[in-house]
Structure 1
Amino acid sequence: MKKVIVKVQLLDERARRKGMKAVSGLPGVESLSMDMKDQKLTVIGDVDPVVVVNKIRKLCPADIVSVGPAKEEKKKEEPKKEEPKKDDQKKKEEELLKAYLAHNPYVTQHYFVRSAEEDPNACVIC
């Protein structure tokens, strides 16, 4: 894997799209990004830097800034959180349920609904 940075002189959005399309068609390109402020094109993958520059030079002037290995970002390992024990978790759930039932006394009402498939004599409005 290589990281190739190319300085390009693109004047407008149309030229940028053409350049991106030309380079993205090369075999081995994995990532492609363009910074319009600095006018730099970054290509990551198994590509030859000379081929990348030749493709871009057909559209606009281009120069190789740097070629190097693609650095993979290392993810920081998060410390594993200890799961609360099941007994503690059950106690917390029971306490929350009691608090909810005390706040909302109408939870215990149950509704029974019969569908037309279960009872063919049920009233159905079509």
Structure 2
Amino acid sequence: MIVWMGVYDQRSKGKITKSISDLPGIHSSYMDLKEGTLVVMGDVDPVELVRNLRKKWGKAKLTLYVPYDALKEAKIAEAKQKREEIEREALYRYNREIRDIFNDKEEQGCVIC
């Protein structure tokens, strides 16, 4: 969900993230200072989140709400991890050309003493 906060500085960002950190169900949060929005991911009630932010900050407006699906997020993370593993394996199996340098000028041959 995305909550518009109208916050554009680091000090206020710290206060807001500290105020929402104690809410249960938040998996991750991100504050976009350019747009002044707070992006929250997790199983948290949007009404409770906005009420808490309005109580502590004064202005908060819910702009976008998409239900959080933990299984979907886990599948996406697993697919990303598999893709990275395949890329690492491909780099590991990269066949480099091995060149042997053969010098025929100093031929040792068979020496019987």
**For this structure pair, what is the TM-score category when the shorter chain's length is used for normalisation?**
0.5 to 0.7
1:52 corresponds in structure 2 to 49
Aligned CA-pair RMSD: 3.1
Q: Does 1:43 align with 2:40?
A: yes
Paired with 2:42 and 2:25, the residues of 1 have a C-alpha distance of 6
1:114 corresponds in structure 2 to none
Paired with 1:29 and 1:40, the residues of 2 have a C-alpha distance of 16
Which deviates more, 43-52 or 53-62? 53-62
Aligned length in residues = 85
DSSP 3-state at the match of 2:24? coil
DSSP 3-state at the match of 1:25? coil
* TM-score, normalised relative to structure 1: 0.54
What does residue range 84-99 of structure 1 map to in structure 2 within 5 Å? 96=98, 99=100
Specify which of 14, 17, 26 is matched with residue 17 of structure 1.
14
| Structure 1 unmatched ranges of 5 or more | 81-91, 104-126
DSSP 3-state at the match of 1:68? coil
Q: Does 1:69 align with 2:67?
A: yes
* TM-score, normalised relative to structure 2: 0.59
Larger radius of gyration, structure 1 or 2? 1
Q: How far 1:11 moved relative to its partner?
A: 4.8
| AA matched with 1:68 | V
DSSP 3-state at the match of 2:57? coil
1:121 corresponds in structure 2 to none
| AA matched with 2:59 | P
Give structure 1 regions of 4+ aligned residues with deviation exceeding 3 angstroms. 70-78
Paired with 1:69 and 1:11, the residues of 2 have a C-alpha distance of 27
| Structure 2 unmatched ranges of 5 or more | 87-94, 104-113
Query: Does the 8 Å CA contact 1:9/1:60 hold for their aligned counterparts?
Result: no
Paired with 1:12 and 1:68, the residues of 2 have a C-alpha distance of 26
